């Protein structure tokens, strides 16, 4: 999903002159999609390196706040814990699970209550033939 749903956060810049930078992580939304890459390509380090590249590009790696939503919040937490960047002032985590194991268990329970086709599409993911059907639209 693109970052577009976060656009109201740009009001921070308008009201308080706080710079706001939105980006779609590699493979998501409006960013570069690398569909031919295998599962081993998509690592936490890749996403953390991309985030660091963004911070460096804009010259803000010495002083910034980071807001992440959903998977972006998982990435923000991992980035803060693993890299311990000195310029990171605040992290805001929104709509992210505290435990991936618990999230996966509960999501699987919810998927079991779906119709066979929808449940199978969730379980099999876009690699299955379902990706060309209305299930993903």
Structural domains of the chain ordered from first start: 4-110+128-136 (3.40.50.1820)
pLDDT one digit per residue (tens) for the chain, 137 residues: 566 667 777 777 778 877 788 888 888 888 888 888 888 988 999 999 999 999 999 999 999 999 898 888 999 999 999 999 999 999 999 989 888 899 889 988 888 887 766 656 666 665 555 444 554 44
What's the pTM value of the predicted model, to 2 decimals? 0.72
3-state secondary structure the chain: CCHHHHHHHHHHHHHHCCCCCCCCCCCCCCCCCCCCCCHHHCCHHHHHHHHHHHHHHCCCCCCEEEEEECHHHHHHHHHHHHHCCCCEEEEEEECCCCCHHHHHHHHHHHHHCCCHHHHHHHHHHHHCHHHHCHHHC
Q: How many CB atoms lie within 10 A of CB 55?
A: 19
């Amino acid at each position: 999903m693109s970052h577009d749903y976060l656009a109201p956060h740009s009001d921070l810049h308008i009201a308080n002159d706080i710079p706001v930078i939105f980006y779609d992580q590699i493979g998501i939304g409006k960013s570069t999609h690398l569909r031919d890459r295998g599962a081993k390509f998509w690592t936490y380090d890749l996403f953390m390196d991309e985030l660091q590249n963004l911070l460096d590009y804009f010259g803000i790696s010495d002083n910034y706040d980071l807001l992440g939503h959903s998977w972006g919040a998982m990435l923000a937490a991992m980035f803060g814990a693993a890299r311990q960047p000195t310029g990171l002032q605040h992290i805001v985590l929104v709509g992210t699970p505290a435990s991936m194991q618990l999230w996966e268990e509960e999501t699987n329970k919810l998927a079991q209550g779906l119709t066979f086709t929808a449940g199978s599409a969730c379980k099999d993911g876009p690699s299955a033939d379902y990706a060309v059907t209305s299930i993903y639209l």
